Amino acid sequence: MTPSFTCPRFTDDLYVPASNGNSVGVLESHDGGDSTEYDSGVGATVEAAILMATGANGEDGSVVVGGLAGAGYSLDHGATWAKLGGLRSPAVITQDIKYEAGSGLWALTGSFLGVSGIASSPSADTNFTVTQGPQMLIENELRYGSLPTKDTWYVTAGFWGDDGVDMEPGFRRVSKGLALGPKGEAVNLLKAPVGIVTGTPAGSRVGSSFAWGQVAKTVDAGRTWSLVFNDTDSGLYPNDISCFDARTCVFVLDASGTDLPARIMSTVDGGASWETFETTGEPGDGLMAARMVGPTEAWVSGGNEVGEMWHTTDLVHWDVQTVEVTDAASIFSFALIPDGSGIYATGILRSQLCSVLKIDF
């Protein structure tokens, strides 16, 4: 079993997008990871070619999954699945699914029938409404979003530039240093063998100094947008964003493929100003996921040679906890265990296979 590289916002249950090479499904656990079962029919049921993300609402047991070409939901802890209403398959591309308790909204950020935006709904089993994203972006391709209130939303968008890397047919880039293969396998482009990335020797860096990142904000549920962060100079690429409330957010800038430190950005004034923290690990750190868990507390995951979890209690100073490289070379998604005892996470190994981890505090 090879889980995909994204994972949900866990409740007491675990739901991880997965593929066994023959089918697309969801790896489930209902006892904190002590045992797992693979539901192989989810991809076919929701008409998704690849599942890349899941989200869960711990209050009612509902789960939403999505990826390439489709998205779906379960209201019974993953026992049965159905397609999301209001979204036309196969026109869905999303790798960011969140249930936001502050707004009471489900949110999928990505592309929907060619419209880059956010698909939202107050319930997993009602029709989702697609709201078009901001048009002032350099390239209108939204990456991640956070909806802390019903009206105030944030999105990240970016571009990694033309780095001269050509991938074999069937592969799709999903981040600056990552691709998904035809069977849903994650491929690290920084270490991919020749034949997956054509013309690029194995182990060479393939990043570009032309990457850029932006963050946009709406205070009227997507009717109008303003740009609150604009970086066209650093060569870093934006990934996940998480907001505690309408004024307090954290997002990450990925340094994969560069000789630069990655950056964690935070704001406490609605994006009027941003605090910058540069990671102290190896240059070229990749940062993928971010999660605020309190008014000044947040976690960020990533890594390069070893998996990393970054933590702050003041949005200024960040400490890192690493995992063994045999467990994960990088951590791509995570969620805190509800009782505060640790984190569940998904990682990628040097072999390009994936792992599911429990990290105890």
CA distances to 1, 15, 70, 342 from 66, in Å: 19, 12, 6, 26
Question: What pLDDT, in 10s, does the model give residues 112-153?
Answer: 988 899 999 999 999 999 999 998 887 667 889 999 999 999
The enclosing domain of 30 has a CATH number of 2.130.10.10
Residues 209 and 350 in one domain: yes
State the pLDDT at residue 4.
35
Residue pair 46/92 in contact (Cβ under 8 Å)? The answer is no
Write down which residue in 69, 103, 132 finishes a domain.
132
Tokens of 33: 């990871």
Residues 313 and 206 in one domain: yes
Residues 52 and 114 in one domain: yes
Q: Which domain holds residue 251?
A: 135-361
State the pLDDT at residue 304.
85
State percent of the chain over pLDDT 70: 82
State the pLDDT at residue 101.
92
State the pLDDT at residue 2.
33
Question: What pLDDT, in 10s, does the model give residues 178-199?
Answer: 666 665 566 666 566 656 665 5
Residues 95 and 203 in one domain: no
Q: Which of 223, 172, 224 is nearest to 196 (CA)?
A: 172
Q: Which residue has the higher pLDDT, 103 or 283?
A: 103
Q: Which amino acid is at 157?
A: A
Please state which of the ranges 78-82, 286-290, 295-299, 342-346 shows the lowest mean pLDDT: 342-346
Please measure the distance between the N-terminal and C-terminal CA atoms of the chain and give it in whole angstroms: 27
Would you give the DSSP letter of residue 95?
A: E
Across the range 34-59, mean pLDDT stands at 91
- CB proximity list for 355: less than 8 A, separation 6 or greater: 3, 327, 328, 346, 347, 348, 349
State the pLDDT at residue 22.
87
State percent of the chain over pLDDT 90: 53
SS3 per-residue string spanning 292-354: ECCCCCEEEEEECCCEEEEEECCCCCCEEEECCCCCCCEEEEEEECCCCCEEEEEEECCCCCE
- Res. 170 pLDDT band, cuts 50 70 90: low
State the pLDDT at residue 352.
78
Residue 346 pLDDT greater than 50, yes or no: yes
Residues 19 and 84 in one domain: yes
State the pLDDT at residue 1.
30
Residues 47 and 76 in one domain: yes
Residues 312 and 188 in one domain: yes
Residues 121 and 145 in one domain: no
Residues 124 and 163 in one domain: no
Question: What pLDDT, in 10s, does the model give residues 225-276?
Answer: 999 999 988 889 899 999 999 999 999 999 887 888 999 999 999 999 999 9
Write down which residue in 97, 132, 167 finishes a domain.
132
State the pLDDT at residue 360.
84
Rg (CA), the chain: 18
- Residue 306's Cα: distance from chain center in Å? 19
State the pLDDT at residue 9.
42
Mean pLDDT over all residues of the chain?
85
Across the range 62-82, mean pLDDT stands at 94
Q: Indicate the number of domains in the chain.
A: 2
State the pLDDT at residue 12.
73
Q: Which of 50, 62, 69 is nearest to 4 (CA)?
A: 50
User: CA-to-CA distance for 342 and 335, rounded, in angstroms?
Assistant: 9
SS3 breakdown of the chain: % helix, strand, coil, rounded to 5? 0, 45, 50
Residue pair 357/346 in contact (Cβ under 8 Å)? The answer is yes
- Res. 90 pLDDT band, cuts 50 70 90: low
User: CA-to-CA distance for 182 and 265, rounded, in angstroms?
Assistant: 34
The enclosing domain of 205 has a CATH number of 2.120.10
Across the range 298-320, mean pLDDT stands at 94
Residues 88 and 154 in one domain: no
Q: Which residue has the higher pLDDT, 80 or 4?
A: 80
Residue 288 pLDDT greater than 50, yes or no: yes
Residues 214 and 197 in one domain: yes
Residues 188 and 336 in one domain: yes
